Amino acid sequence: MNQGLDFQSIIFNLQTYWASQGCMIWQPYYSQLGAGTMNPATFLRVLGPEPWRVAYVEPSVRPDDGRYGINPNRLQQHHQFQVILKPDPGNPQELYLKSLLALGINPEEHDIRFVEDNWESPALSSWGLGWEVWLDGQEITQFTYFQQAGGMTLDVPAVELTYGLERIAMTLQGVSHFKDIRWNDQRLYGDVYQVAEREHSTYYYEIADVPRLREMFNLFSQEAENALKKGLVLPAYDNVIKCSHTFNVLDARGAVGFTERQALFGKMRDLSRKVAEAYYAQREEMGFPWLKQVETQQHEVESLLLAQSEIAERADFLFEIGTEELPASELDRAIEQLQPAFETWLAEMRLEHDGMKVQGTPRRLAVSVKNLQTRQTERTLELKGPPADRAFDNEGKPTKVAEGFARSKGLELDQLAVKTFENGRYVVAEISEPGRTSLELLSEKLPLMITNLRFSKSMRWNQSGASFSRPVRWLVAILDDQVVPFEFAGLQSGRTTWGLRFSTQGSTTVDSLAAYEAYLDEQGIILDPLARRQNIWQQALRLTESVNGTLVDDPDLLAEIGNLVEQPTALLGTFDRRFLENLPPEVLIGVMKKHQRYIPVLDQEGKLTNHFIVVRNGDHQHAEIVMDGNLQVILARFADAEFFVQEDMKKKLEDFVPKLAQLTFQKQLGSMLDKTERIKMISLKLAEKLGLDETEKATTMRIAQLCKADLASEMVVEMTSLQGVMGKYYARHSGENEVVSQGVFDYYLPSSSEDQLPGSRPATVVGLADRLDSIAGLFAVGLTPTGNKDPFALRRTAIGLVSLLLGKNLDFDTRWALQQAGAVQSVPFTTEVEDQATAFITGRLHTILLERGVAHDVVDAVEAVHGENPAQANHAAEVLSRWVAKTEWSTILPAFSRCVRMTRELEREFLVEPSVLTEAEEIRLYHAVSQAKTSLNQSPSFENALVQVEGLVSPINAFFDKVLVMVEDQALRESRLGILQRIAALSKPYADLSKLEGF
Amino acid sequence: MNQGLDFQSIIFNLQTYWASQGCMIWQPYYSQLGAGTMNPATFLRVLGPEPWRVAYVEPSVRPDDGRYGINPNRLQQHHQFQVILKPDPGNPQELYLKSLLALGINPEEHDIRFVEDNWESPALSSWGLGWEVWLDGQEITQFTYFQQAGGMTLDVPAVELTYGLERIAMTLQGVSHFKDIRWNDQRLYGDVYQVAEREHSTYYYEIADVPRLREMFNLFSQEAENALKKGLVLPAYDNVIKCSHTFNVLDARGAVGFTERQALFGKMRDLSRKVAEAYYAQREEMGFPWLKQVETQQHEVESLLLAQSEIAERADFLFEIGTEELPASELDRAIEQLQPAFETWLAEMRLEHDGMKVQGTPRRLAVSVKNLQTRQTERTLELKGPPADRAFDNEGKPTKVAEGFARSKGLELDQLAVKTFENGRYVVAEISEPGRTSLELLSEKLPLMITNLRFSKSMRWNQSGASFSRPVRWLVAILDDQVVPFEFAGLQSGRTTWGLRFSTQGSTTVDSLAAYEAYLDEQGIILDPLARRQNIWQQALRLTESVNGTLVDDPDLLAEIGNLVEQPTALLGTFDRRFLENLPPEVLIGVMKKHQRYIPVLDQEGKLTNHFIVVRNGDHQHAEIVMDGNLQVILARFADAEFFVQEDMKKKLEDFVPKLAQLTFQKQLGSMLDKTERIKMISLKLAEKLGLDETEKATTMRIAQLCKADLASEMVVEMTSLQGVMGKYYARHSGENEVVSQGVFDYYLPSSSEDQLPGSRPATVVGLADRLDSIAGLFAVGLTPTGNKDPFALRRTAIGLVSLLLGKNLDFDTRWALQQAGAVQSVPFTTEVEDQATAFITGRLHTILLERGVAHDVVDAVEAVHGENPAQANHAAEVLSRWVAKTEWSTILPAFSRCVRMTRELEREFLVEPSVLTEAEEIRLYHAVSQAKTSLNQSPSFENALVQVEGLVSPINAFFDKVLVMVEDQALRESRLGILQRIAALSKPYADLSKLEGF
């Protein structure tokens, strides 16, 4: 491969190939774009119903991808080759693969994969579904079915291909650093671009002036508005593009905080929507002139004729939906739906069989039924009609009622009979229902089976308007040896199926389920997902054992890998040991699992080794090429991370703190450095409240000081998900003690209501302080979550806060805590805001308790009392749930409830004058209540309160049986009410039992 | 031609062709560029000694070329194809012509011309020499030898080719509007770009916000500075490019006045120089890495051996310098130098001949000599040495002196002889000087002949460092039938010459002058420039007569046309009559002559017709294709002008006045509208001073109001040279009276000291006011011309002012006038400034008088008195010049001078007491002086003053002969001095005669 095409020939060949496919060859845009998608030749032209085929190079500028020219394949400018096919030509994957041949890449010699990758551009308000195309683990192309652009759903989905030219060139030429790519026979890529990479990286990361960039952003966005007002689409869009680049530079400078990001994105989204709408309107007004050019390609629906030939009484059935590569999770989802749906339907249709299975691979969903009845059994149905006396007159002649019934059912009058039922005599008619053929029934049902499938994300791909997870490209439906004819998404069912994508055979026709299964076997395709997983696991274990390693069972990963291949072959890879030393295992494992879907290999002690398992799609042929490619990819990715970590470790963690001043948290609330200061102040209050000792307090303040520092590190800027993780490592590297280091990670815990909690009290305190600060601050500036909008993830923040209080059982008043946090904000924290924020946290508590299985009424009961103290609410809920579950509760609650209901409207508390009491039952109750109160004073707890209430059940019931409370005598009445008030008061400090069901 | 290549295939073919020539294929830049030259792949890579070959498309954005998509070939964005060849490959024109073949253009079927067009970018501080390449009159390519970039002289000149792809496509496809260009087999250019043209034109001309653009310019330039400070070349350059585009938009908005333009250009120039220097330093520091890649192509200089064969005593000589197309004026200049230089040299060399001629065409300079002596006549030289008595002792033996002399001359002692001269006896030696061969002499001299030629602009093209008007590509030097060997610019002389560029024959070898002349004849090449002109004139006359037209003799145009062709063939063209109605003849003629070098045809009344003469290079073959092409070009150009004029005529001329507020005259002095207001105020003062009547005053004010209005019109924005011309037409169209309309044009007159003057007094007044305002204002803000820097053309302004005063004989004090102008400025006009400005105008007067042939001393004499009143100075100079020329002057001046010299040191004026006078001569003189004074009082004029002085010559001389002035007697002495003082005073009001030579 060392003599692969040079860089400019790659471009030539792609241009030539796509020109031959009817694409206009276009030029790069005259503005810095992050991607070819932003070129108006894509962004605008995909809108509306007009056809459009275009191909062009786009040198794409992404400031925060710059690595000073050091990293082997990260560049602030890379070259994309962009293709748009609109409408979908029906075989875009095949056209794409042919284009690889034009580059000298023979798909049969490689592991080429279509790996789910959905694309979204918030700034452009655009999205699409599709894949990354992997060549031996290396992403070389983005393949997207564009669904929406500028907030407008596309009239006709467009296929977008984006080739990464540098990666393709590196692969073709067998070089491992972009600088070594041959551009032509004289110059290397590095000759002409290495200095550019260094300079632009320096500029974007270190030099570009932030206030000036902000100013530019404003100017461009004003110009965009300006142009839009005059209906000038392209000039407006040019300015939107400039906003976008300016934003990207600001971002690379680390100057955009979370909330500013929201604002700027909002601005860009708004503008690009307006641009898209204006463009659409413009084309519409022009009458979509290119539509006239389209040849009428209306799909002629052939009449679907059922086969007439003989068919056995029972026969095997095969239904295969052939698709472009389904995302792993959607494959599972589809199987899970199809299995019961099909099973139920067969039963409803009275079609017996000897077993039915739904299986699938990324390229196919298959329903197979053994020995299916080919015709429903005939049956007789009895139809019940009107009462006999109304249907027949006295003379036994049918009335109009009978006639009406007969007509409505399509019966003759003489088919009506009379039958006696439990509730009287009625007209009946017996209809013999002939069994319909399965062929007919399936022919009607199968398209609905497809249509009824639901995916988490669906797409359209052609003008049929049909929607599915990915395009459906073929349909096989065979009963016995006959095709079950139907149509879906412009396709007709048939007997043609496809094997492995890169099998030389291509498609084949099958005559039966058995033939189909034999064909898949021959192709090495394992149709059953579970079998594929087991197969992979066995292969992986064997390879792991060969290096004396172990594997951690990771069902999610295994399931995903299993769903990415049809013919799994596991290969063992080994990377340079130095990465084990230079990078935290979290980083290595993260990259391997998340980016590459490799299975990491551990040693016998459970420590990460430098081995990993790659699962390719295909057999062992050319395995060395495949592994070579994969190794290159992982090395590059690790090198990338290594670069960041090494850069970061040149400083101490504390040295990043001042840089936080450049990261905006929120415009009004200041920078991340400001937030850090507030976290420290709040932490101090909490530490005192929670009684931390001096050592713990010092640790708390140190964690607070460092907790946000890693946000300014290169590695975290690159992979935000590593926040905390890198902080921990950098803290250790900087010589911080272990509690502090771990705390810098731990204070993020829990990230959900099920996650683990921080290990130390100081980390817990900082975690609380951070969350309280966010809630208090963002509520104070009015950024409260509304409806399903929660751009600042305040719900998650509050859930984390509550989970901490519950998990650590911190008896803690959230209102008080919010007051502390409110006091250190730079904006006013009013009582109204305090009420809102407190109520918001109570709301999260409510949700969490419900999620933990606490009954709705119990939650209401405890919340009424402890809504602002989650730990206590939780405790009370536990106690109350236990009591409510008791069988005795059905007697306890009514008794108690009677006391409460009788007294709750009273406006004052009555004294009990024992001397006026007359009845034995009231005296007994009075004494019992007094005893209960004494016990509760001595040992106050919700549990005890309920024990005492339980003890009062019998005296209460006796009391009500014998004693009339509302007597004339005022003193007596008030004393009796006083007794009941005392009972009602017993549980008041713990819960409002009146909220319970059955109260 | 209707099936010519589609647009994208044109690009493909050019890319493929230039890739095969070793060019890197590059991508368009990610920023809006006015031209491919600005792409760093050109602007930076041409710097330094490293080799570089690159080719790329550049969609080039020029806001003020936008025509809303209406004009057939003016677009705000057009596509350039840019090629850089560095170093010069030696045959770039041939490589270029082959690239046309790759596009299906057969040079033999067209009139392809290399028409001088030197390129300069003030913003980039870059320039080069070269041509526009014309295909049948249509400019399709810019061909430049880059000499300087970013203010740095290129180490190695680079060849830059810039193809205009739209024009090429239109020609190839035979379409007459850009929108009809086929892009590929599905879409037309207009499908994808026509809306873009409309929208961007609207944005650039009407919508883009001027204050925001200014702000952007500042931000970008600050960012450029910022990046430069950190040594980041490319980020800095990106920002310079953005400045440039922003400037272009500002300019299209009509918002940049003359002085702001200077400032912004200055900024861009400064930045691009710094960028270039930083890039150079960077490459230098890297050790110019690409130099290593260059194959050592050192030119091996072969030893030049003189031919040894026999040669006749007299033989014809031919010397031909074969060049790439020389600019017309440079060709004349070269011939004018070569003729005397060669002639003189032959004489000095004692080489007789029967006639020598220097002739030339754009592609060759040829010296031919008939019957040249092939060897110098032998001669004897007598060398004169020291005096004989010092060279020989008494015994006649040679002394050391003789030995020294002999040694210094390389003689033996016995070669010395003694000879008697007028002044004594000296040693002599006779040396016989053998005649050297002409071959030898020419071999030494010819390279110097080339080197010594001086051009107004010279260029270098290869590493020899040789410089010439355009590259020299071959050298023929033949004496008899022998090559005269020499070398220049890496070429060796020989006998190979080239015929017509597109002759199928290519080159040929010639053995003699006769063969050469025969060959040129055969090729149809007319070597003699005068003969070519005559030939063209005759052909043009014949064609003109065929349409009953006339031609105006325009020797400059004819000379230029003659120098653009080797084989002239005149063709008659006819354009649409409507342009005669829609456009002023100035516009039509300007376009035809200046842009296309056509000869306009007039009718018998001298009015412009719709015929014109094109002179092609070549014969009548394919004449229809050539004329077709030319017609397309002229139609497009006229349509362009028509568009502007029609746009403009939608308004009245006065309506443009408010728009002048957007045109800055100078930052401190405000807009052109402000200037208009000042012109009105100054005009009023002048009108009063010059005694204009009320009607004239009203006319003056109207002209003043409208005089700058056309600067805001589209047509003048497009072709600045039409300022005033368009104003005149628009004024008429707007219903202004004829004096006003003509005045709007006339006030610009005279544009030089020889130009014609305004026709009316009002126009004259406005012309004065405009100039006075500029001088007063610009001097007040310190923008005085210094050295050879005069960016505001104040010298020309002052020359115009003085010429007006002289031409109209306006007796007018410039100091007073400047005071009036100074008084209306918005900045202080101090006495110091007043002095400077007045002196500056006097300086121009001085120059003009000298240019008019007034003697230096006369100018000084009149200037001493009338320096601030040019009209009077001029009058005095006329009078004095006449007198100085008289023979009597030699007696007048000494007599007068004696009177002046004797009295000029006196500190007071003495009374003459007639009674004390004693001598007859003094009494006679006294009376004569009294008479003269009386006459002068009655008829005061310089002429009369001089007449009176002349009359006094005889009495003065008699007086001095007889009378001693400085006697003891004080009364007598003072009276005598008093008489002399009265004489000296006679001419004082008119001139200071003491400044005259001979005084």
Contacts of A200 in chain B (CB under 8 A): 232, 234-235
The whole-number pLDDT of residue B308 equals: 54
> A234 CA to chain B: closest CA distance, Å?
7
User: Which phi and psi (to 5°) does residue B37 adopt?
Assistant: -60, -30
Q: Of A336, A285, A516, whose CA–CA distance to A508 is shortest?
A: A516
The DSSP result for B717-743, as a single string, is: HH-GGGTTHHHHHHHHHTT--HHHHHH
> A278 CA to chain B: closest CA distance, Å?
12
CA angle, A510 as apex, A509 and A513 as ends, to 5°? 160
For A30, the closest of B31, B192, B234 (CB atoms) is: B31
- Test B186 with A227 for CB contact under 8 angstroms: no
- Test A207 with B187 for CB contact under 8 angstroms: no
Contacts of A196 in chain B (CB under 8 A): 234
- Test B235 with A199 for CB contact under 8 angstroms: yes
User: Which phi and psi (to 5°) does residue B380 adopt?
Assistant: -110, 135
> A333 CA to chain B: closest CA distance, Å?
43
- How far from chain centre, in Å, is Cα A943? 42
- Its ipTM equals 0.75
- Test A24 with B8 for CB contact under 8 angstroms: yes
CB contact at 8 A, A428 and A299: no
Q: Of B685, B243, B305, B323, whose CA–CA distance to B498 is shortest?
A: B323
Q: Which residues of A92-114 are buried (b: 16+ CB within 10 A; e: fewer)?
A: bbebbbebbebbebeeeebbbbb
- Test A27 with B30 for CB contact under 8 angstroms: no
Q: Of B701, B645, B308, B355, whose CA–CA distance to B513 is shortest?
A: B355
What is the enclosing helix (H) or strand (E) of B366?
A: strand B364-373
CB contact at 8 A, B427 and B421: no
**From B23, which residue of chain A is nearest by alpha-carbon distance?**
A184
Contacts of B196 in chain A (CB under 8 A): 234
Encoded tokens for B458? 């010279």
Dist CA A861 CA A993 (whole Å): 6
What is the enclosing helix (H) or strand (E) of B382?
A: strand B379-387
Helical H segments across A253-371, by residue range: 258-285, 328-348
pLDDT tens digits, A587-605: 999 899 988 899 999 999 9
Q: How confident is the model at residue A56 (pLDDT cuts 50, 70, 90)?
A: very high
For B83, B89, B277, B300, B471, the CA distances from B157, given in Å and listed in that order, are: 14, 11, 17, 21, 11
CB contact at 8 A, A29 and A204: no
User: DSSP state, B887?
Assistant: T
Dist CA A822 CA A769 (whole Å): 11
Dist CA B842 CA B868 (whole Å): 6
pLDDT tens digits, B3-17: 789 999 999 999 999
The DSSP result for A597-658, as a single string, is: -PEEEE-TTS-EEEEEEEEEES-STTHHHHHHHHHHHHHHHHHHHHHHHHHHHTS-GGGGGG
Contacts of A53 in chain B (CB under 8 A): 186
Q: What SS3 state is found at B222?
A: helix
User: DSSP state, B179?
Assistant: G
The whole-number pLDDT of residue B294 equals: 53
Side chain identity at B879, as an amino acid letter?
V
pLDDT tens digits, A428-477: 888 887 888 999 999 999 999 999 999 999 999 998 889 999 999 999 99
Dist CA A391 CA A414 (whole Å): 13
Residue with tokens 């691979």: A361
Peptide bond preceding A87: is omega within 30 degrees of 0, i.e. cis?
Answer: yes
User: Which phi and psi (to 5°) does residue A203 adopt?
Assistant: -65, -50
Contacts of B23 in chain A (CB under 8 A): 184
Residues 6+ apart with CB under 8 A from B427: B384, B385, B386, B387, B388, B391, B392, B402, B405, B416, B417, B418
Max CA distance (Å), chain A: 116
- Test A30 with B59 for CB contact under 8 angstroms: yes
The whole-number pLDDT of residue B75 equals: 94
Residues 6+ apart with CB under 8 A from A299: A464, A490
CB contact at 8 A, A963 and A876: no
Contacts of B293 in chain A (CB under 8 A): 186
Helical H segments across B53-209, by residue range: 92-102, 165-173, 189-202
CB contact at 8 A, B849 and B874: yes
- Test B32 with A29 for CB contact under 8 angstroms: no
Contacts of A186 in chain B (CB under 8 A): 22, 24, 53, 293
The whole-number pLDDT of residue A907 equals: 87
Contacts of A253 in chain B (CB under 8 A): none
Encoded tokens for A346? 């067969």
CB contact at 8 A, A240 and A271: yes
Contacts of B27 in chain A (CB under 8 A): 28, 57, 59, 79
Helical H segments across B790-918, by residue range: 794-807, 814-823, 831-851, 856-866, 870-885, 889-903
The whole-number pLDDT of residue B296 equals: 46
- Test B31 with A32 for CB contact under 8 angstroms: yes
Angle (deg, nearest 10), helices B258-285 and B233-252: 160
| Stretches in chain B below the pLDDT threshold 50 | 1-2, 296-303
Average pLDDT of the residues in A868-879: 95
Pairing of strands A52-61, A24-26: parallel
Sheet of B482-483, strands arranged across: B356-361, B364-373, B314-323, B472-479, B482-483
The whole-number pLDDT of residue A463 equals: 86
The dihedral built from the CA positions of residue A595, A601, A606 and A609, taken in this order, carries a sign that is negative
Dist CA A298 CA B282 (whole Å): 62
Q: Of A538, A635, A524, whose CA–CA distance to A136 is shortest?
A: A635
What is the enclosing helix (H) or strand (E) of B319?
A: strand B314-323
Q: How confident is the model at residue A153 (pLDDT cuts 50, 70, 90)?
A: very high
For B27, the closest of A28, A199, A289 (CB atoms) is: A28
> A463 CA to chain B: closest CA distance, Å?
21
Exposed, middle or buried by CB within 10 Å (0-12, 13-18, 19+), for B447?
A: middle
**From A13, which residue of chain B is nearest by alpha-carbon distance?**
B12
CB contact at 8 A, B951 and B928: yes
Exposed, middle or buried by CB within 10 Å (0-12, 13-18, 19+), for B551?
A: middle
Q: Which residues of B477-493 are buried (b: 16+ CB within 10 A; e: fewer)?
A: bbbbbbbbbbbbbbbbb
CB contact at 8 A, B457 and B466: no
Exposed, middle or buried by CB within 10 Å (0-12, 13-18, 19+), for A464?
A: middle
Size of interface A-B (CB pairs under 8 A): 147
Dist CA A975 CA A919 (whole Å): 12
Phi and psi based region of residue A501 (left: phi greater than 0; alpha: psi -120 to 50; beta: remaining): alpha
Q: How confident is the model at residue A307 (pLDDT cuts 50, 70, 90)?
A: low
For B235, the closest of A53, A203, A230 (CB atoms) is: A203
> B523 CA to chain A: closest CA distance, Å?
42
Dist CA B475 CA B425 (whole Å): 53
Helical H segments across A349-486, by residue range: 388-391, 400-409, 438-451
CB contact at 8 A, A44 and A697: no
pLDDT tens digits, A465-522: 899 999 999 999 999 999 999 999 999 999 999 998 876 667 899 999 999 999 999 9
The whole-number pLDDT of residue B302 equals: 47
- Test B282 with A12 for CB contact under 8 angstroms: no
Residues 6+ apart with CB under 8 A from B707: B676, B679, B727, B743, B744, B747, B766, B770
User: DSSP state, B910?
Assistant: P
